[in-house]
Structure 1
Amino acid sequence: MLYKDFKESIKTLGFLSIEDFMVYAGVTSNDVLSWEEKNEVPYLVSLILHLLKGEKELLPTNWALDNVIEECLPLASLLEEVSSFPHKLEEMFLLQKKLNDSTNGKNWELGVNKFGKEINWLRCIHMEVAELIESTPWKHWKNINADPDMNNIHVELVDIWHFLMSYILQETNVPKAVSLSNTHCIYEAATEIDVKLMVKEAEKLSYIALAIDTGNMPSFSGIERFIDQFFRCCKISGLSFMWLQKLYIGKNCLNQFRQDNGYKEGHYIKVWNGNEDNVVMVDLLKKMEDVGFDDLYNKLKEEYSKNR
């Protein structure tokens, strides 16, 4: 359908303006400008107009319609997935706040825990980046042909996310944190990993942390840089947002389990029958379709009891 025919059609259908149709169809002004520039309206939009006008003779054959549906299903699935991101972000930020309240006491946002110990989330991020890099064969003198431990790299990214969320919550509130993070979650995780690029981009998280800590970058602009760079690291490392969220629930649950079993006091057992607790947690996650905090906590409790 030509753009001029599109404009005539929306008038005959009772839309007062193109803006009214945009709201109805859920398209943006950039979409419409693109149609005008090309003087062509996408097939699916013209199909909507034909349906609204009741022009059945102009509708496609069943075979053609089946093809359209088949092509649209992946997009619909993606849109449904993306629509859940704000809720998943809110869930993670609330869980992180709850964990920090439990571990560090109320008012931890002031930078001191309930034992009077200083809290430095920026240093935490810096140290976790170092652990991520340790999971790659970065050393020129040792195991130079080794493969990166991608499972552990993903766990380290989740650890960074714990501390980054804590830093964001220290500077703002949950709704604002979700708003700042939401658009950055939409990305396609890499299937082929460039290890050198992954290390280089991870190091930038340390640079941002150091820049803020030394007063060379304002905190608020630093948060925005942090969020953008963090999800870039996830993308390059092949960690999708959905798996990040699943791993986060798992690690958050494990962190609470550690605290409940003497982690702070120093008598928690971190290696369970030859496997670190992180590894046990990930194995449990892979077997769970829907991850619930309480369900996973009980499974961890069961596995831990076998180690005592």
Structure 2
Amino acid sequence: MLTSPQAATMLALQDKMNAKVNPDWVAVKSPFLRAVVIEAAEAIEHHGWKWWKKQDCDLEQLQMELVDIWHFILSAILIKHEGNQEKALQDVFTDLETSTVQFDGQTYTYHNLSLLQKLELMIGLAAAKRYDLGLFSALLADCQMQWDDLYAQYVSKNVLNFFRQDNGYKEGTYVKIWSGREDNEHLVEIMAKLDVKSENYQSDLYNELNARYQMLDMA
């Protein structure tokens, strides 16, 4: 189960990341839930949905899409509370264990839905400017993740986001494909080699990303 210190840490990291992109990010109120729509659609692609052809589920990339979605949900929660992290923290735990949601005149019970149906429901809610953390919890379980797993991957992706910004992501000069693979794929590979419980985990991860990225200049 998600702990209060974990949630508080992630909210603080998300605020710091967003402020790096735009110091006035709370006042600007960017459409973070629109980003959830796009990321959830990408998650469907990684799962596979085409009934007319054989497709294999890429579980690691599907999990990474959930981490991306979590970034945007945290941002939406922070905006809802005008950047107040204490109120946002309370909001996180308000519906974390819900098992149903009312949407479009219907009641949806999560355990009756497939993973793809849950992702479709998340898209519908996000398009309607809503989120439901009980639904997100159910998706974690479907993707074979615990909250501890999400926490570890979130911190890792946060490092990647800072790395992207430090290397020109906002200016459009960042190169996302390294040696034929997206930086997300490199991140998964590096994470597997490092100890997430290490005090130096964040710096070690950043340094390893940087070492690989510098190889582009040498190619």
Q: TM-score range by the shorter chain?
A: 0.7 to 0.9
Distance (whole Å) between structure 2 residues aligned to residue 206 and residue 97 of structure 1: 24
Q: 1:274-289 to 2 correspondence within 5 Å?
A: 274-289=180-195
Distance (whole Å) between structure 1 residues aligned to residue 23 and residue 122 of structure 2: 27
Aligned residue for 2:169?
263
Instruction: Select the residue among 113, 126, 129 that pairs with 1:209.
Output: 126
The one-letter code matched in structure 1 to 2:56 is D
The one-letter code matched in structure 2 to 1:138 is W
Q: 1:68-217 to 2 correspondence within 5 Å?
A: 85-106=3-24, 108-111=25-28, 119-141=30-52, 144-172=53-81, 173-182=84-93, 184=96, 197-212=114-129
Aligned residue for 1:52?
none
Aligned residue for 2:156?
250
Is the partner of 2:57 in helix, strand or coil?
coil
Is the partner of 1:306 in helix, strand or coil?
helix
The one-letter code matched in structure 2 to 1:206 is I
| Farther-moved stretch of structure 1 (231-240 vs 95-104) | 231-240
Deviation of 1:100 (Å): 0.3
The one-letter code matched in structure 1 to 2:31 is N
Q: Contact conserved, 2:36 with 2:73, CA < 8 A, in 1?
A: yes
The one-letter code matched in structure 2 to 1:304 is Y
Q: Contact conserved, 1:89 with 1:182, CA < 8 A, in 2?
A: no
Is the partner of 1:229 in helix, strand or coil?
helix
The one-letter code matched in structure 2 to 1:160 is I
Q: Contact conserved, 2:37 with 2:126, CA < 8 A, in 1?
A: yes
- Relative contact order (alpha carbons < 8 A, sep ≥ 6): 1 or 2 greater? 2
Aligned residue for 1:24?
none
Deviation of 1:182 (Å): 4.1
Distance (whole Å) between structure 2 residues aligned to residue 85 and residue 285 of structure 1: 22
Deviation of 1:94 (Å): 0.4
Deviation of 1:247 (Å): 0.9
Highest Rg: 1 or 2? 1
2:146 equivalent to 1:240: yes
Q: Contact conserved, 2:40 with 2:123, CA < 8 A, in 1?
A: yes
How many residues align? The count is: 197
Q: Tell me the TM-score normalized by structure 2.
A: 0.83
Q: Contact conserved, 1:137 with 1:146, CA < 8 A, in 2?
A: yes
Q: Contact conserved, 2:10 with 2:155, CA < 8 A, in 1?
A: yes
Q: Tell me the TM-score normalized by structure 1.
A: 0.60
> How much is the aligned-residue C-alpha RMSD, in angstroms?
2.1
Q: Contact conserved, 2:77 with 2:91, CA < 8 A, in 1?
A: no
Higher helix share: 1
Distance (whole Å) between structure 1 residues aligned to residue 138 and residue 48 of structure 2: 21
Q: Contact conserved, 1:253 with 1:297, CA < 8 A, in 2?
A: yes
The one-letter code matched in structure 1 to 2:41 is A
1:239-295 Cα offsets, whole Å, 9 max, x none, are 211111111111111111111101122221112222211111111111122263222
Q: What are the ranges of 5 or more consecutive residues in structure 1 without an aligned counterpart?
A: 1-81, 113-118, 186-193, 213-221
Deviation of 1:176 (Å): 2.5
The one-letter code matched in structure 2 to 1:251 is K
Q: 1:285-296 to 2 correspondence within 5 Å?
A: 285-289=191-195, 290=197, 292-296=201-205
Is the partner of 2:51 in helix, strand or coil?
coil
